[in-house]
Each structure stands twice: as C-alpha cells, then as structure tokens.
Amino acid sequence: MNPRLPSPRILLGPGPSSVSPAVLQSAATAPIGYLDPELFELLESVRNDLRLLFGTSNAFTIPLTGTGMAGMECCLANLIEPGDRVVIGVNGFFGGRMVEIARRLGAEVTQVDAEWGTPLEAGMFLPALKSSSPVKVVACVHAETSTGVETSIAPIAELAHSNGALFLADAVTSLGGMPVECDKWSVDACYSATQKCVGAPPGLSPITISDRAMAAMEGRSKGASHWYYDWKLLRGYYDAPHAYHHTVPINLYYTLAAALNEIKTEGLEERFRRYREVSAQLLNGLEEIGVLPFAAEKCRLPSLNTVVIPDSVTDEAGLRSALLREYGIEIGGGLGALKGKIWRIGTMGAAATPRNIVLLLAALRLLLKR
C-alpha cells in the first residue's frame, strides 16, 4: 500500500542537487512545535551558519519558508512600493523574472540588458541611474542559473549606493558554492535556496537583509501587500520573544542544519575547490567528446556548467530523457531563449563527485553515438 519509491537519481541538473545520506536522514527527525525552545536553539545555530555563508553580520538572516523564487518575491515585495523606480540587470532568465515580479508590484522598472551568456557590468547601469528621478533599488543576479555566468556584483552595488539606491542580489546558485560576501560587497538584500550548492532538499530560501534595507522597508508610506513574506512580521517570529506568524517547516530546518554542518566540516574554501575541480573535470571530459562550453571562461560558474548542444544532436530532449531513464542521471535543458541550444549541468551538493562525472561522461559518450 505504500506509494512507489522513486528511482535512484544522480542530480546533475540546475537543481535540486543530490543530498548526502546524513542530510537526508535528518529529514526523518520527529517534528517539534513552532514555539518549542529547542526549535529556537536550532534556529539560532542555523541563522549563524547562514550568516557565515552570506558573509554578513546582518541580524535579519533567516531560512524563509518557500523556495528561491519565494525569496526573490519576498525581497522585491518588501523593498518596492507602487511607483518606485527600480533598475534591474538582465543577462538571463532569472533577471527577467525579477523584472516580471517588480512590475507586478507596481514598480517603474528600467531593464539593463546584457547578452545572455555574458556578465553584467557596472557601467551598463550608469545611464539608468543618471536619469532625473531617483532610483530606489538596483538588482541583479550574482550567478545566472540559466546561462552559467557570474556577474561581479560589488561594483554594481557600489554604483547603486553612490546614487542613493539599495542593492539586491540573487545568490540562488552561488551561496555555498563560491564566495558570497554581502557585507564586503555592500549588498542590502540577498536571497538564495537550499537545494543547490548548500546541499539540502528544496523548500527553504535563506535570505539576509541589511539594517539599511530594513529601515527602507519600515519607512514605506504603505505596508507591503504581502503578508506571508512581510519582513516585519517574520522578524517578530524569528527574533525573541517569538510571536506566532506561521508554522515553520521544521523537518526542512533539520535538513538545513545538517547541510550547514557538513559545509562547516568540509570547510567553505574546500567546498568551493571541490566544485571548481569537478567542474573542470566535467568541461575537460566534455570537450573530448566535442561538447563545448557556452559561457566564457572568465565568468563561468563552478556550480552550474552550460554547454552548447552539438549540431549532431537532433533530439536533445530525447537524449536527456534517455540519460535519465537508462542511467538515472538528470541534467537540465536551456531556459527561455536558450531552450534547445544549451545543456545545464550542475556540479553542486553531494552530486559533485569525480565518480558521478566519470559516469555522466561515459553515458553521454554512448548516447551521442546513437
């Protein structure tokens, strides 16, 4: 009578990534109540570890209930009031999503475009910031999951601040996989997700908010239209004396605590190095079978590798499907304008091991010959 268990998978797509046995097993810990003193002990430790990953001392650093996209909407909804001017860099699918959500919130959005597959640069933001009316928020994606490209966000944050704007960054595919330094880079608000480089299952979105961003939210002329993701209400729960807001997903907290613990045991630098090495192994191996990188070397993400689908492949979705069915390996297709043009291969979490790459390369070699 039990539901059928899913087939074993090696998750080398854009996320979720595979989870270690210890993290998985922690999910089966019995739940405790949302006001249990032991929950707040656990939560304090999780919040401290998240500050380490975010490179911040921000008081308001929490695992938001929801996935990375919830983190994106949460940050935009608290920062933006209808009519606010917002400048958003777009060099991939997720930058585009920021624009979409900001417009829904009534923002007057200026979109700063860079070609998909290339990074954004501070200079590109200058014209939008120099126009007559003041800009409230500048935002962009640190690590574009749709293109595998890193943008250096510190110069953009600096430019935003020198023009009186707040700076918001998407760190969904970078947190836990490469340096994220919110304080050093002057990032005012930053959100991520647990199911990529952090190595936990999906369902939580770590966010960190600077005092300056908090003050901006508190100074709004009207409260946020969003209740579930209202920073003030959330702070009321996460900080003592802990007023009830919603029933937090405690079993996901267990997994996040276990994953953060593994990161500390491995060491952040060592983890970054593992991702880089496994990524290099992957790209070298792919080159040997004629599959070349999409993103330029200088801006490539170590966690999410984009490669151009060879012309010889007439049914790329069919090939990915065979890879999943026959070898239990998931890799991702392209999103938006890159659909059918690139593959996205993650080297994140517990899946990022030399053995898995050897298997993937061997399987791809066979499938490409069919």
Does 247 sit near its own copies (CB under 8 A)? Answer: yes
Instruction: Please state the closest distance from residue 346 (CB atom) to its own copies, in A.
Output: 10
Which of positions 259-278 make contact with its own copies (CB under 8 A)?
Answer: 261, 264-265
Does 240 sit near its own copies (CB under 8 A)? Answer: no
AA identity, residue 335: L
Does 248 sit near its own copies (CB under 8 A)? Answer: yes
Which of positions 62-81 make contact with its own copies (CB under 8 A)?
Answer: 65-70, 73
Instruction: Please state the closest distance from residue 186 (CB atom) to its own copies, in A.
Output: 27
Does 241 sit near its own copies (CB under 8 A)? Answer: no
Please identify, using beta-carbon distances, which residue of 93 and 185 lies nearer to its own copies.
93
Listing DSSP states for 342-367 in one string gives: EEEEE--GGG--HHHHHHHHHHHHHH
Does 122 sit near its own copies (CB under 8 A)? Answer: no
Looking at the DSSP bridge assignments, the partners of residue 306 are 344
SS3 sequence, 88-151?
Answer: EEECCHHHHHHHHHHHHCCCEEEEEECCCCCCCCHHHHHHHHHCCCCCCEEEEECEECCCCEEC
Which of positions 310-329 make contact with its own copies (CB under 8 A)?
Answer: 324
Run of H or E residues at 191: strand 189-191
Q: Which x/- pattern, by CB under 8 A, does the window 185-224 give for its own copies?
A: --------x-x-----xxx-------------------xx
Task: Report which DSSP code applies to 207.
Answer: E
Class of residue 236 by CB neighbours under 10 A (exposed 0-12, middle 13-18, buried 19+)? middle
Which of positions 13-42 make contact with its own copies (CB under 8 A)?
Answer: 13, 15-16, 18-19, 22, 24-34, 36, 38-39, 41-42
Binding its own copies (rule: CB under 8 A), the pick from 106, 123, 127, 340 is: 106
User: What residues have CB less than 8 Å from 300, skipping those under 6 apart?
Assistant: 148, 149, 150, 279, 293
Please identify, using beta-carbon distances, which residue of 100 and 287 lies nearer to its own copies.
100
Does 352 sit near its own copies (CB under 8 A)? Answer: no
Does 225 sit near its own copies (CB under 8 A)? Answer: yes
| Nearest partner of 125 among 80, 77, 165, 84, judged by Cα | 165
